[in-house]
Amino acid sequence: MVMAADPDIERRRYVENMYPTVTVVAESEEVIASPDIDAIVVATPARTHFHQARRALKAGKHVLVEKPFATSLAEATELARIASTNNLVLMAGHTFQYAGAVTYIRDIIGKGELGDLTYVRSLRLNLGQFRTNINVLWDLAPHDLSILLYVLERFPKTVQATGRARVNHSVVDVANVTLDFGDQLAAHIIVSWLDPQKVRKMTFVGDRKMLVYDNMSPSKKIQILDKGIEIAPGHDPAESFEYAHRQGDILIPTIHEAEPLYVECEHFIECCQLGKIPRSGAASGAAVTAIIEAAQQSIRSGGKAVSLDMFDGAAPFEDWLDKTLTMLPGATSTVSDARAANGSPANDAFGEHGREPGQRYKAMVIDPDESRRVFAADALIAFEPGFDVVTVRGLDEASEWIETFVPDLLVMSENIEQSAAEELIDSVRKMPNGDRCRVVSVGRVGNGEAATAPWCHAAVSEGAGSQSGSRPSRMSSHTEN
Ligand SMILES: NC(=O)c1ccc[n+]([C@@H]2O[C@H](COP(=O)([O-])OP(=O)(O)OC[C@H]3O[C@@H](n4cnc5c(N)ncnc54)[C@H](O)[C@@H]3O)[C@@H](O)[C@H]2O)c1
């Protein structure tokens, strides 16, 4: 490792002390722009993963993105497309795919030792750590899902989920997810930040044997139990149901467990050096993202089953990803073109004095259209230094965020209709803290007009209300976006 970036001075000091040979900087842009850097690991707060990874890929770097790989399938496939177009390694930080125990389970299932699987139960529970920028699904479920897809080597057909937001009423902190894989196989996942004990346990129930994977156990990580229910021979269960418990041996295999994170990092380096597709490559990242996105949709609909027919039962993942990529629209805009079209709309929004130099601000880009959203966020990051940006699709997501994130600036696409924009601004203003946002629109490539539309100016002076003319709130140096 030769460079590390973190806007938080305490974290920079920590890295400097631990690794004196590493150059430590505040802005990730410095790492991304450095010609000496071949590969970048993005281990920042989840909502920043996409933008950091996208910028790094666009600068020609190989990228390892911590989980969650992205926070929407559109983001995940966009990253995958840039990587594949430019022959770059793109890897998801699905650490457990590098755990000896998980590889062992995959082998056992592959050899059919458990028989036909009936269900898998996965528990990932603890008290905290609460995150404000993503819910518990995005935080914890990537582990369960990446393990499941890796060991089962198949995609689920549907997902159903329910969730509760107990502590912070806008962030789901407990979720139950059921995946239906067809052929009578289901997986049940519970993820929680609200449980008294730390539990990391998966149970695989097969008709021949059962397997328990307890990642918290130092000596018995895996137990294979020769247990089951057997119907007495010659009995038709429909007539008279006689059964017996089978209580056989318990096998506790020795697992040669190197530190999974270490193995993961070595694998990333090897893939970069040899141009290999990583075990947890973009396809794994995109598949896990797609399932979580669908699970969120299910939570919002009160637990209805959401079809995952996009997978079309296809395996291997790479084939599915290739197919998905060809269906996506091509990239339509480049940030460098935006410079020509845009002045400094963000400065305009803060009034004649603009923003204070060196101060960091928070911006929220709101747009249902993925390419416009990404474009606006990129343009802001590239040409309006000092903004930490989150992107949201619409009002629902904005309201999940706005209380905790408290944006200084709300960015909309210029292409939005004025009436729709005014409605949107109105709704945002009514949310707690919503009246603090200034509003701006970032123009699209080829538009050629000033980026800040007149109705945005109106919204700024009118909407800023009691805060008109005053400075936006100061952000702490440790951002949580
Ligand atoms: N694979 C795993 O098992 C695993 C375990 C823990 C965390 N994670 C993931 O790693 C990521 C970081 O988690 P964490 O617990 O360390 O979070 P954290 O909030 O403690 O640390 C994130 C760091 O990123 C810095 N940061 C924020 N914006 C940045 C930017 N634009 N450029 C550079 N640095 C920036 C912050 O200042 C902070 O120091 C998360 O995405 C999390 O999901 C993965």
Determine the atom of ligand 1 nearest the C-alpha atom of 129.
Answer: 15
* pLDDT for the residue numbered 317: 61
pLDDT of residue 460: 39
CATH 3.60.150.10 given to domain 97-251 = no
CA of 45 to the centre of ligand 1 (A): 4
Identify which of 435, 322, 422, 270 has the alpha carbon closest to the alpha carbon of residue 80: 322
Alpha carbon distance 63, 180 (integer Å): 32
Atom of ligand 1 nearest to the CA of 134: 43
| Per-residue pLDDT tens over the stretch 127-169 | 988 887 789 999 999 999 999 999 998 889 999 999 998 888 7
Q: How far is the CA of 157 from the centre of ligand 1 (A)?
A: 32
- The average pLDDT across 227-240 equals 78
Lowest mean pLDDT among 151-165, 244-258, 404-418: 404-418
Average of per-residue pLDDT values in the chain: 80
Strands 409-413 and 361-366: parallel
Taking 90 as the threshold, does the pLDDT of residue 349 lie above it?
Answer: no
The number of helices, as runs of H, and strands, as runs of E, in the chain is 15, 18
**Smallest Cα–Cα separation from 459: which of 371, 345, 372?**
345
Whose C-alpha lies nearest to ligand 1, atom 15? 45
Is the Cα torsion angle 125, 281, 80, 44 positive or negative in sign? positive
Average pLDDT over residues 97-110: 95
What predicted TM-score, i.e. pTM, was given to this entire model? 0.72
CA angle at 228 for the pair 222 and 229, rounded to the nearest 5°:
165
Q: Average pLDDT of 95-116?
A: 96
Distance 64 CA to ligand 1 centre (A): 13
Domain layout of the chain by residue ranges: 97-251, 342-477
74: confidence class by pLDDT, cuts 50, 70, 90 = confident
Pocket of ligand 1, beta carbon within 6 A: 5-8, 11, 28, 43-46, 48, 66-67, 93, 95, 478-479
More confidently predicted of 370 and 262: 262
User: What is the DSSP pairing of strand 3-5 with strand 158-164?
Assistant: unpaired
Sequence-separated contacts (24+) of 471-476 with Cβ below 8 Å: 471/356, 472/350, 472/361, 472/408, 472/409, 472/436, 472/438, 473/406, 473/408, 473/436, 474/359, 475/359, 475/360, 475/361, 475/362, 475/388, 475/408
What pLDDT score was predicted for residue 233? 74
**Confidence band for 29, pLDDT divided at 50, 70 and 90:** very high
358 CA distance to ligand 1 centroid (A)? 22
Out of 16, 66, 292, give the residue to mutate to test ligand 1, the one with the largest number of ligand atoms within 8 Å of its CB. Answer: 66
Which class does domain 342-477 fall in?
Answer: alpha beta
Separation of CA 446 and ligand 1 centre (Å)? 36
